[in-house]
């Protein structure tokens, strides 16, 4: 299974905000999306061939730990972290995340002095 390490702290996807001009994203998710647009070609390379067909994805999320927290793991729902990552990789790693039939995901804090990151592995299903 090919794996890639993305040196960016994962964030949970937020709902788009609505205004007179349409929908937009705000807050940390907006900045995560912007950074991923720049980061993905650096990680995958510009000549990467998109995955086609059904896929299995393994995703390990290491979220930057706040200076003070009593929580044993990041608070946001894991499905929102998954959505944030998968949406940013549409058209870059795979054609569309509807191709993903199996997912294994885990979320956890980084060590107190570490920056966040995530590791993504992809296998084609037959």
Summarised one tens digit per residue, pLDDT across range 60-74 is 999 988 888 888 888
- Rounded to two decimals, what is the model's pTM? 0.86
Contact 74, 109 (CB under 8 A): yes
User: How many domains does the chain divide into?
Assistant: 1
CATH code assigned at 78: 3.30.1330.70
**Mean pLDDT confidence for 96-102:** 96
Helix (H) or strand (E) holding 35: helix 27-44
pLDDT tens, position by position, 14-41: 666 555 666 555 678 888 989 999 999 9
| CA–CA gap between residue 100 and residue 97 (Å, rounded) | 6
Give me the residue label for tokens 């509807």. Answer: 98
Selection from 16, 43, 40 nearest residue 27 by Cα: 16
> Which residues constitute the domain of residue 15?
3-124
Quick one: what percent of the chain has pLDDT higher than 90?
A: 63
């Amino acid at each position: 299974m090919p794996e890639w390490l993305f040196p960016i702290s994962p964030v949970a996807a937020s709902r788009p905000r609505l205004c007179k001009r349409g929908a937009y994203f705000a807050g940390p998710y907006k900045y995560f999306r912007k950074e991923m647009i720049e980061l993905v070609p650096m990680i995958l390379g510009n000549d990467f061939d998109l995955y086609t067909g059904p896929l299995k994805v393994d995703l390990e999320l290491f979220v930057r730990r706040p200076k003070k927290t009593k929580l044993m793991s990041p608070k946001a729902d894991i499905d929102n972290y998954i959505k944030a990552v998968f949406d940013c990789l549409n058209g870059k790693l795979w054609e569309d995340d509807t191709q993903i039939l199996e997912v294994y995901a885990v979320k956890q804090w980084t060590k107190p002095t570490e920056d966040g990151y995530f590791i993504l592995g992809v296998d084609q299903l037959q």
